[in-house]
Structure 1
Amino acid sequence: MVFACAFALVAIATKISAFFANVIPTSNIFLTILNSILGNMYFVLTTITALLATYKPDFFSSIKGAQEIGMFFMIIFMVVIAVPASIPEILKNAPLLFVFCGIMVLMNMLVSFIGAYLYTIFYPIKTPCYLMLAGSFLY
């Protein structure tokens, strides 16, 4: 069920974004920006998914295993993005970027953990993800 929904959402988003990319002209700057936004498959996919999850929460919350599969694919996505990165190149060419990313991860963890403590929220999925992110900076 999870994969059927995912494939259907991707197919619909691809068709809609291709339609907008072909229909909206690029004759002026406003239309070019509109074409770039509505013709972007990832923007359309995110918008459709957020709208469906907002207006049909009973259906999407009833899908078994969706959170685990989503976390697995999110980790795979992060690995695919990070594979071509070379830490020595980053440190040589843009050391402040590395520091900025470290500060972002630490602040995100701090706010999430303090918020979870104050509101007594248990994050069984977020905690390993944050530890993985923090560990990637130590690796």
Structure 2
Amino acid sequence: MPTWVACVARVHVDRASGVVTVQKLTLVTDAGTIVDPDGARAQTEGAALWGLSMALHEGTEFVNGQVKDLNLDTYTPLRISDTPELDIQFVDSVEVPVGLGEPATTVVAPAIANAIFRAVGVRLRHIPITSAAVLKALAEQT
């Protein structure tokens, strides 16, 4: 049995700056029988925050064949101050336990993109979702 995860994001989009603030992530996971609830929650939280970091902050650029950002002073992943409220739930199941390490990572960016679309009517399909990309999409909207 695979792990199934659904995610919904609540965001605020500043139309003037293009900044997207994720206010809340709600994740529901079906991973079979949950053997260690605290461990399952920790794995899902970590995966969701990694997904959030990739969705809004992380992106590797190359300049002259070399990675542009070599340190965390210029490569800026999610910071603790950017961590939204997390609502994590697990489906009751009698199926065998399955993995929880990364399944919640991949659902976050699409949830954020869908929330942005619902909030301001622009569809963004590439990560990281930058303020420049939001502003460009808003400008092309009219």
Q: Which has the larger share of strand?
A: 2
TM-score interval, smaller chain: under 0.3
Larger RCO, structure (CA 8 Å, separation 6 or more):
2
Report the TM-score, using the length of structure 2 for normalisation: 0.21
Report the TM-score, using the length of structure 1 for normalisation: 0.21
Structure with the greater alpha carbon radius of gyration: 1
